[in-house]
Structure 1
Amino acid sequence: MFVSLLTDGCWFHSHLLGKMRCSVLPLVVALLLLLPPVAMETQENDFKDGCQGAALQDGEHDCTWSCIIFTLQWPGGFCASLFNETLCRIPDGVTGWTIHGLWPQHAQRCCSCWPMFHSDVQELEDELAEYWPSLLTTRSRFQFWKQEWSKHGACAACVEGFNSPQKYFQISLKLRQSFEIQRILEDAGITPSCERRYKVAEVQSVLTPHVGDQYEIQCVVDHRDRQVWFQVKIQMSRDLTLGCSHPDAGSGTGSEPSPGHPCPPEVPFFYFPINHQQPERPCD
């Protein structure tokens, strides 16, 4: 992370000032290694403040995105799509729908100079661990959060309400609390099961009054070629109202690639329970 910070910092200053070249990087590294920890912390804060200012300044003139997708995933379905039994894990404290991401669409300019540090989400870490966990054994939860910030949060940062990692993750957690789809489904009798299957229209009739009509129910195929529900992608406008009237809304550009596909309307799908001991084969 330290080397990345220096490399990105060199790009940042050369891009804005046109005076620094990355050939001076070895000298900068040598000098910084001589500084006490307090000086290093000050540099980190200055660097983040500088990037924040650049994001806002650019955003005033070139904040291209109008629509954003809030995506919730069901751990029991996500793990069922992984055929390698060592890849998936569901932390013990995770018992419901989790956040996959908050993704602005068609964001053409992102503040790539703005890294994310553990201190940015330290106050939110317990909530994020429960509601935005990493479900892959190959990726720590902080690596997951850092990736989501660099790919999507930094692209949303041109809007003032999103203009820091802390704000981006706070908004995501608040949205997760607002969309209580697990309670909504349970109240309608739609619960995880190894035997019962559901139809798209059945789930839509329950969710639409709460999430609007611009959303997608996604499935994956498990090792037995069964359709398994794993994700809901909710379309929102930049001000976080439901739906988006932009001409490109719903086209998918700017979304995170995933193993999912729209659940076939004519094929009933499974809504598997969460199995912490056997996450990829919850019903076997």
Structure 2
Amino acid sequence: MNFIYYYILAVKLFLLAVVPAFSQGFDFFYFVQEWPGSYCDTKKGCCYPLTGKPNANFGIHGLWPNYDDGSYPSNCDPDSPFDLSEVEDLRSILQEEWPTLACPSGDGTKFWSHEWEKHGTCSESVLSQHSYFQTNLDLKEKINLLQVLKNAGIEPNGTLYSLGYIKNAIEEGVGFTPAIGCNVDPAGTTQLYRISFCVDNTASNLIECPRFPRSNCPSRVEFPSF
């Protein structure tokens, strides 16, 4: 009897020690948005989704768990595949705010499936499949990135802007420092492409980034039209 009692006690103590550390599993998220004009304005090009040309606005790419050392978990749960029925109530707004521009044209499900299975499954201790997508939508609405840039006179019209000015405008408008990524169009012009913010590991609050991804942007970048 004593052996069984102490065995059960030992198991309980082990679970108390291990489960909290395991349930966290990562240190923070990157919340990533991309400008569709820059995505399309490359040699590879783009294809509009089956629902038609998206709005001229930043689109969601995803919410990515990361570690403070710069590494990140991925494809954490092969037993939790993307299930469209889990987000059926969000489908129309996902098509608007999280459109696919990959070729051939699609309805978005392939893109959403990739993001859930690669990144979302690594956050299941915090976010269910539905809440993962809802959280992305909520963050995009909260940040309202395009309006923040327009308020600072930064318009998507092909103008070259100082990278520092863009960064400062976003930091002032959102309250947190962004990570900015760029791409290059066929003419060799560097464009504003990807803007990321950091979110705490409960997916509740924007935070200052513990670590920034490496920037590939020069001092001046184009903000192309779409």
Q: TM-score range by the shorter chain?
A: 0.7 to 0.9
SS for the counterpart of 1:122 is helix
Aligned counterparts of 2:66 and 2:135: Cα–Cα separation in 1? 17
Matched, 1:158 2:121: no
Matched, 1:98 2:50: no
The one of 196, 207, 213 equivalent to 1:243 is 207
Which consecutive unaligned segments of at least 5 residues does structure 2 have?
A: 1-17
Identity of aligned residues (%): 26
Letter in structure 2 aligned against 1:66: D
Deviation of 1:188 after TM superposition, in Å, equals 1.4
Match of 1:185? Answer: 149
Match of 1:269? Answer: 221
TM-score (norm 1): 0.64
Letter in structure 1 aligned against 2:113: K
Deviation of 1:108 after TM superposition, in Å, equals 4.4
Assess if the C-alpha contact under 8 Å between 1:72 and 1:231 holds in 2.
Answer: yes
Assess if the C-alpha contact under 8 Å between 1:60 and 1:158 holds in 2.
Answer: no
Deviation of 1:244 after TM superposition, in Å, equals 4.9
User: Aligned Cα RMSD in Å?
Assistant: 2.2
Deviation of 1:210 after TM superposition, in Å, equals 3.5
Assess if the C-alpha contact under 8 Å between 1:211 and 1:234 holds in 2.
Answer: no
Alignment of 1:134-145 (within 5 A): 134-138=100-104, 140=106, 141-145=108-112
TM-score (norm 2): 0.80
Alignment of 1:81-230 (within 5 A): 81=42, 83-85=43-45, 87-89=46-48, 91-106=52-67, 108=73, 110-138=76-104, 140=106, 141-159=108-126, 162=127, 164-194=128-158, 196-230=159-193
Letter in structure 2 aligned against 1:157: E
Matched, 1:67 2:67: no
By percentage of residues, which structure has more strand?
Answer: 2
Aligned counterparts of 1:221 and 1:168: Cα–Cα separation in 2? 31
Letter in structure 2 aligned against 1:200: L
Alignment of 1:49-60 (within 5 A): 60=20
Letter in structure 1 aligned against 2:85: S
Seen in structure 2, the aligned counterparts of structure 1 residues 151 and 72 have a Cα distance that, compared at 3 Å, is same
Aligned counterparts of 1:192 and 1:227: Cα–Cα separation in 2? 14
Q: Deviation string for 1:143-165 (max 9, x for gaps)?
A: 10011000011101112xx1x21
Match of 2:14? Answer: none
Assess if the C-alpha contact under 8 Å between 1:228 and 1:269 holds in 2.
Answer: yes
By percentage of residues, which structure has more helix?
Answer: 1
Deviation of 1:118 after TM superposition, in Å, equals 1.5
Match of 1:26? Answer: none
Aligned counterparts of 2:155 and 2:124: Cα–Cα separation in 1? 37
When structure 1 is superposed on structure 2, of 202-211 and 146-155 the one drifting more is 202-211
